[in-house]
Amino acid sequence: MADTHRVEFVCNDAPVAVDVTEGESLLSVLREHLGLRAAKDGCAPQGQCGCCTVLVDGDARVACVTPVTRVAGRRVTTLEGLDAARRDALASAFVDTGASQCGFCTPGILLRVAALQDRGRDGAGDVERALGAHLWAAPGGGASSRPPPTSRRAGAAGTSTPPRPAPRSRAGSRSA
């Protein structure tokens, strides 16, 4: 049996302690040790698709290339840990703008947008640039389906208007 060592961090506002193997990824720990399945493995360990995106101290990070030892003592948030009303508002924004994605891509995308909101950087240009870190397909295709710009802070907890993400069409650029 491989040697293990203990790593402690805060996950979705609860302290956790897990015994991990050398080099084990945060994604592996979230899914296999903690049973949190929102973050997906789309390309691990390539770090290219964004499906495994989580928040580490509020910053969006791809968990498949983040050694779990790097989050020791830090605060990790997965989609399961996002306030339900906020999660729903974000999801609705994607549906309303025709940018909804499958369940594989969506969790990471929503968390990245949430991180932008928390920094007050959720204008359409900000969202479009940030989503360059994700491989996803815009239904209807690219610029032609791009929604109007967002208003800053829209969709954040306590507000009623969700953001309008700007989808990028990269259909065919990822495998299943």
Q: Which of 39/89 has CB closer to ligand FES?
A: 39
**Residue 54 is a binding residue for ligand FES (CB under 6 A):** no
Residue 7: HSE in the Cβ half-sphere, 13 Å Cα cutoff: 25
**Residue 107 is a binding residue for ligand FES (CB under 6 A):** no
**Pattern 23-52, binding to ligand FES, x per CB under 6 A?**
------------------xxxx--xxxxxx
**Pattern 76-95, binding to ligand FES, x per CB under 6 A?**
--------------------
The CB density around residue 143, as the number of other CB atoms within 10 Å, is: 10
CA R_g for the chain: 16
Q: Which of 67/149 has CB closer to ligand FES?
A: 67
Q: Tell me which residue has its CB nearest to ligand FES.
A: 64
Single-letter code of the amino acid located at 33: H
Cα–Cα distance, 162 to 23 (Å, whole number): 38
**Residue 71 is a binding residue for ligand FES (CB under 6 A):** no
Helix (H, G, I), strand (E, B) or coil at 63: helix
| Residue whose token pair is 């020791």 | 72
> Which residues are at the interface with ligand FES (CB under 6 A)?
41-44, 47-52, 62, 64
